[in-house]
Structure 1
């Protein structure tokens, strides 16, 4: 039995390369990190309200929590002031529920942002 074990050891030593043939007993290969493609985490999207039903698309995107919506309200405002007011109120309620902000840039544009975005109104030429 001992002879059989010695023969097996001899065979395995012949088949496997010795330490002197491979160099060190363990070799490490240093790999360069592969850069990952960075995708946007926050999106700034432009919307146009042509009719009241367009509010649904704005609200759906705001609920994702990763969209800052820039909304053109002029087309709906020129059709119906009542529908425009309904649309703005609906957007405001949704954004307030998400702890975000809604501001009017001028008569034709509104910006709605999630809670992690702070919108500041500045005066011309003023910086902080």
Structure 2
């Protein structure tokens, strides 16, 4: 999804999101005005954008912390992580993407053979 930077204040940036650039949003159903249907199954919900990453020039700038507005017309407020972001980029386009950096990695159990192939000398419970 794309958006446009409206303003930068201290450690926050305000972005006007354009849901029409989101293919999933378009597939979710839009009317001729470009507004998303809210009563259709699987309709777009802007609250799902919380904690999404904001990318500017393919670099992570911040994370979405607040959403203001209605389903078809809303603004995003993101916390800025990059200290090099200044008011000179107001009006620039940004990407809004879901990043999975904070997810726990799955534990690997590949060293252990499947249960059927385990050593038969070990039995259930206590040894006799």
Q: Which has the higher strand share?
A: 2
Q: Higher RCO, 1 or 2 (CA under 8 Å, sep at least 6)?
A: 2
Q: Which bin holds the TM-score, normalised by the shorter protein? A: under 0.3
Q: Give the TM-score normalised by the residue count of structure 1.
A: 0.27
